[in-house]
Amino acid sequence: MAVTKASLNPGRERVGALKSISAQDEKRTRALAAEAPPGNPGVSADTGSKGNFRFNDNRQKYLMFVNTCTEKWAVGERVEQELQNIHPKPPAIRVFDAGVGDGTVLTRVMRSMHLRFPTMPFYIVAKEISLEDVRLTLEKTPDRFFEHPAMVLVITNLYYKEAPWLNPQSISSASTLSWNEVALSGTTSREFEKQITALQPMLAENWRTTVNKATGNLGYERPAVLVLYREDHRFLLNSVIPRRGVGRADYDLVIASQPYRLRASVEFKASRVLAPLAKALGPGGRLVAIQSHGGDPGHEILKGVWKDENPFIHDRHQILKAVKEVLGPAARSLKFNSTPENRSLFRHEMHTMPEEIAGSIGTSTLFAAWNAAIYVGQIEDARLEQVLHSGEYIDVTREALKKHGGLWFWDEAFCISRRRDF
């Protein structure tokens, strides 16, 4: 493994020595990562205004949700459909994931990309502020480097307005940017896995977060960019490997899966999340956004506990209209595609076996279903505490499972694309 850049040096002695991360650092990073919003501070988890309640992504809820429901698979399949609509140009297909989470969506999309474009070089940038999510994502990548050697994978903790270009906006942030380039040696998944695992101490050092005292928002302590590629493909990838300070977005595909808090204002979703992402599209590029839609058995559970509950406050039409307004004249080169319901909505569900629902439903199934419903509905802990003492939520969940023979949800997808002649 060839690792360049001075900032790696302090961590270098510790490469391969995971045990050496101080317990305190690890605890602190984990605690902060647990609070990591899906995007950047004040963008995805927040409503953006000072003093507002900040939604904290509960780690356990997220992990339980992604492991018990098919959502991230279904999102991967929805994004895959967009591969037929992109028009990549040499030297590489350019993809940006605006909040990679546990990496399930991205690695599934990478497999689909390989199927469709087996010999084209990939340039893939994944934005993620949570250290634990960076770990979960990276551990899914060794086989990707094996199957698709012509690939540059970049992970960054930069903000939405910075990440597509790999450029911090303020001069002080730019001067502290930790830019690490890792050329993976060898030719097998196991060799790549070893070298990627050995990066953990460096990641723990670079992926620290800090809470802005004025806004309560979470941000990076130090901006960081990690560039990974196979050493034996360095020559081929020379013009694809990004260089510090020479930012280029021009993406063929931007993935924005659940990139903001559902209850954030529409102005916020448009101006702080989707508009900067739309600006990062290259000619013929396509942004696909996915959000929860409601009106499903999961929503029924929420309403069974909190009558009239509706976290799904903006549909794709409202959001696209707001993005168009925010972009002003810059919207002229873009197309806003809010397709009819039958083409925008797709389903995902909780994994259950028929016999689990037919008989007396076990507690772990009930808890997983309740967790999925409150996770999708992004119900804050304080509100949960008020209902957990009575067993009503379990009865409501059981009834919904019985009535629908399981649990399923609607997601909604919409696209923004850049005209090819711009």
Ligand X SMILES: C[S@@+](CC[C@H](N)C(=O)[O-])C[C@H]1O[C@@H](n2cnc3c(N)ncnc32)[C@H](O)[C@@H]1O
Rounded Cα–Cα distance for residues 200 and 17 (Å): 9
Nearer to ligand X, 310 or 333 (CB): 310
Q: Which of 156, 157, 258, 397 binds ligand X (CB under 6 A)?
A: 258
Under the criterion CB under 6 A, does residue 43 sit at the interface with ligand X?
A: no
Residues within window 75-114 making contact with ligand X, judged by CB under 6 A: 75, 99, 101, 105
Under the criterion CB under 6 A, does residue 72 sit at the interface with ligand X?
A: yes
Q: Which of 46, 71, 181, 205 binds ligand X (CB under 6 A)?
A: 71
Under the criterion CB under 6 A, does residue 413 sit at the interface with ligand X?
A: no
DSSP 8-state symbol, 89:
B
Both tokens of residue 343?
């083409």
H or E stretch at 290: strand 281-292
Min. distance of Cβ 269 from ligand X in angstroms? 13
Pattern 130-169, ligand X, x by CB under 6 A: ---x------------------------------------
Both tokens of residue 47?
């409503």
Sign of CA dihedral 348, 164, 134, 191: positive
Exposed e or buried b for every residue in 95-113, given b needs 16+ CB within 10 A?
bbbbbbbbbbbbbbbbbbb
Q: Burial of 27 by CB count in 10 Å (0-12 exposed, 13-18 middle, 19+ buried)?
A: exposed
Min. distance of Cβ 292 from ligand X in angstroms? 4
Residues within window 178-207 making contact with ligand X, judged by CB under 6 A: none
Residues in the chain: 422
For residue 251, report the phi and psi dihedrals to the nearest 5 degrees: -80, 145
Q: Which of 326, 376, 407, 415 binds ligand X (CB under 6 A)?
A: 376
Min. distance of Cβ 359 from ligand X in angstroms? 28
Per DSSP, the three-state class of 94 is strand
Nearer to ligand X, 1 or 379 (CB): 379
Nearer to ligand X, 57 or 181 (CB): 57
Residues within window 271-330 making contact with ligand X, judged by CB under 6 A: 292
Residues 6+ apart with CB under 8 A from 388: none
Under the criterion CB under 6 A, does residue 209 sit at the interface with ligand X?
A: no
Nearer to ligand X, 87 or 111 (CB): 111
Rounded Cα–Cα distance for residues 366 and 400 (Å): 10
Q: Among candidates 242, 240, 221, which has minimal Cα distance to 172? A: 221
Residues within window 342-361 making contact with ligand X, judged by CB under 6 A: none
State the residues that interact with ligand X by CB under 6 A: 37-38, 57, 62, 71-72, 75, 99, 101, 105, 133, 257-258, 292, 376, 378
